[in-house]
Amino acid sequence: MKLATLRNHHRDGQLVVVSRDLQRMRAVPECATLQAALDQWDAMAPVLQRVADELAAGQGPFEAFRPEACAAPLPRAYQWLDASAYLNHVELVRRARGADMPEELRREPLMYQGGSDDFLGAHDPIEAADEAFGIDLEAEVIVITGDVPIGCSAEAALGRVRLVGLANDVTLRHLVPPEIAKGFGFLQSKPATALSPVLATPDELGPHWRAGKLHLPLLSELNGERLGAPDAGVDMDFDFGRLIAHAARTRRLVAGTIVGSGTVSNRDPAAGVSCLAERRVREQLGGASALTPFLRSGDRVRIEMRDPDGHSLFGAITQTVRTGVAA
């Protein structure tokens, strides 16, 4: 089944079940919000699935699905944990600044805890006070977990994945170095993250979801031109089971925790990129005299994943950059 959240007069919006083709939707009176569904998943999942089956069969009332009316599926979440599961991306960035790849990064995931109190809808603008901050997109795959016990194994952790989707984890590149130098990590350099309008249960993804990875290209475009389409299942060094287990090594994770893959990246340059930083690194390593600029006011970003028949799985993240916004 596929789920989304419509904007209404409540902070957490209205949960709706969306048809597989993203054309129809229906609210579920028994469950007002996605977080409420996650909190009582065993009881609510059959109810939501029944609505999904009825939508698929053309039964019962429905409304036209309008992704532009959607908030983030979880407008605010209890936890947002983002990783760097694609070591190719990490290696490229470090090589560009002459740094070696520490062996410990090959053994266990790199992960940070991001701001989870304000996720953007897929059509909300990317806002920044100044283009000089170095505004960048980062196209990622995300999962939403149920409750995860402390010390959960990687294999068991995959059974705790409730939903799968996409994210644009915006980064202000020029604010990263001074924050990292302080030794605590990201804060100002990581503004609000946008989520795909729709999330899907793993079973909805069929053979494309296997071994804790989503095996399909992730499409990124800037102003209508393709940046890349790296396969999210290729060159992912830590699958989502490993990522969730890493986060749960010393504490429990509550239902509604969002875990990100980090920037999707393939070793094959022909796959393109999922962020401008990686494109710039490749240009730098190739001896280019001028590098691709970071995002500017008015730029349009699109992130989407489609099945082999060309059908959008989660709807598209389509955002326009708006600068001059008070920080």
pLDDT tens per residue across span 93-124: 777 666 778 888 788 999 999 999 999 999 99
Average pLDDT on 269-288 reads: 94
Do the beta carbons of residue 312 and residue 22 sit within 8 Å? yes
The pLDDT, as a whole number, for residue 96 is 66
pLDDT tens profile 163-183: 999 999 999 999 998 988 888
Sorting pLDDT into bands at 50, 70 and 90, what band is 326?
low
Q: State the total domains in the chain.
A: 2
Final residue before a domain boundary, out of 68, 90, 125: 68
In a shared domain, residues 204 and 282 = yes
127 and 39 part of one domain: no
- Residues 299, 207: one domain? yes
Residues 148, 54 within the same domain: no
**Best CA proximity match to 293, nearest among 305, 278, 276:** 276
CA torsion, points 243, 239, 169, 32, in degrees to nearest 10? -80
Are residues 193 and 110 both part of a single domain?
yes
pLDDT tens-digit readout, 179-211: 888 888 889 999 999 999 999 999 999 999 999
Domain housing 118: 75-323
Q: Please calculate the CA angle 166-171-173 and round it to the nearest 5 degrees.
A: 150
Mean pLDDT of 298-324: 97
Same domain, 163 and 288: yes
Tell me, yes or no, whether 298 and 314 share the same domain. yes
In this prediction, residue 90 carries a pLDDT of 86
- Judged on CB neighbours under 10 Å (0-12, 13-18, 19+), 156 is middle
Q: Among 68, 84, 117, where does a domain finish?
A: 68
Residues 43 and 155 in one domain: no
Contacts of 93 (CB under 8 A, 6+ apart): 277, 278, 281
User: Do 188 and 280 reside in the same domain of the chain?
Assistant: yes
In the predicted structure, residue 314 carries a pLDDT above the cut 70 = yes
How many angstroms separate the CA atoms of 122 and 80, rounded? 17
93 and 124, same domain (yes or no): yes
Q: Percent of the chain, pLDDT > 70?
A: 98
The mean pLDDT value of the chain amounts to 95
CB contact burial 34-66 (16+ within 10 A = b; e otherwise) = bbebbbebeebbebbeebbebbeeeeeebeebe
CATH of the domain at 90: 3.90.850.10
pLDDT tens per residue, range 30-86: 999 999 999 999 999 999 999 999 999 999 999 999 999 999 999 999 999 999 999
> Which of 14, 49, 68 is where one domain is finished?
68
Asked if the model's pLDDT at residue 327 lies above 70, the reply is no
Residues 47 and 176 in one domain: no
